Structure 1
Amino acid sequence: MIELTSVIRDLREELGRAIAAAEGEALRFELGPIELELSLALERAGQAGAKVRFWVVESGAEAEVRAVSAQRISLALQPAVAGAGTPPFISGRADANEQ
């Protein structure tokens, strides 16, 4: 399983690379709302003051997690670049070497 914060961090990094790749491209795409549908498992430690942690279930591991009570959730994220007044743009290529 992967922590939900790691999934969102990795998504942010990928979007950052796509925004950087859009610089100078003639054809760009405006980045709109991002919808994620995830299977989550909830973990809560038994100590006083413990935090609840959300884990994203990796594909193929779902049968195992059903015993831990996995739940499906949908997240709608609206990406924004700090300090920018307009939505970010992304290109259709991840890097210059991709065809």
Structure 2
Amino acid sequence: MSGIELASLVQQLREELALALVQAEGERIRFELGPVELSLTVTVGREAKPGSKIRFWVVEAGAEATFSREAVQEIKMVLTPVDTTAKPGPDGKPAPIRISGDQLPGER
């Protein structure tokens, strides 16, 4: 199967966002992390042995031509990152993730 497993893609995205947090420490300009939208082309595969799991494979750019059009699907995922170590805000919901440092005047 050509591509990457959907679970691996999400794990790699999580690692990249964590790295962005570390690299942004001490920066003057920062960003609040909102929902992350992914539009993916996937194919579904299952091994031929009993009890095997169905797996979603993200098709690599340009690789779609190797699959029949009926074998691939377009999916959109919206992920809302949550910092499990952050204290909840006054509304009881997790505080938004900020890519760097303390809040600056005029920044939301």
TM bucket, shorter chain:
0.7 to 0.9
Identity of aligned residues (%): 48
Report 1 or 2 for greater relative contact order, CA contacts < 8 Å, sequence distance ≥ 6: 1
Query: What letter corresponds to residue 99 of structure 2 in structure 1?
Result: I
Q: In the TM superposition, what is the alpha-carbon distance from 1:58 to its structure 2 partner?
A: 0.3
Secondary structure in structure 1 of the residue aligned to 2:68: helix
What is the aligned counterpart of 1:41 among 28, 40, 43? 43
What is the aligned counterpart of 1:90 among 64, 78, 99? 99
For residues 77-97 of structure 1, give each alpha carbon's deviation from its aligned partner in whole angstroms, at most 9, with x where no partner exists: 000111213121226xxxxxx
CA contact (8 A) 1:19 1:88 kept: no
Task: Provide the residue aligned with 2:77 in structure 1.
Answer: 75
Task: Provide the residue aligned with 2:105 in structure 1.
Answer: none
Give the TM-score, by structure 1 length: 0.83
Q: In the TM superposition, what is the alpha-carbon distance from 1:71 to its structure 2 partner?
A: 0.5
Question: Superposition pairs for residues 3-22 of structure 1, below 5 Å?
Answer: 3-22=5-24
Task: Give the count of matched residue pairs.
Answer: 91
CA RMSD of aligned residues (A): 1.5
For residues 10-58 of structure 1, give each alpha carbon's deviation from its aligned partner in whole angstroms, at most 9, with x where no partner exists: 1111100111122222211000000000000100122221100110000
Structure 2: stretches of 5+ with no match in the other structure:
89-94, 101-108
Following TM superposition, the consecutive aligned residue runs of length 4 or more in structure 1 with deviations greater than 2 angstroms are none
Give the TM-score, by structure 2 length: 0.77
Structure 1: stretches of 5+ with no match in the other structure:
92-99
Q: Distance in 1 between matches of 2:96 and 2:21?
A: 11
Secondary structure in structure 2 of the residue aligned to 1:40: strand
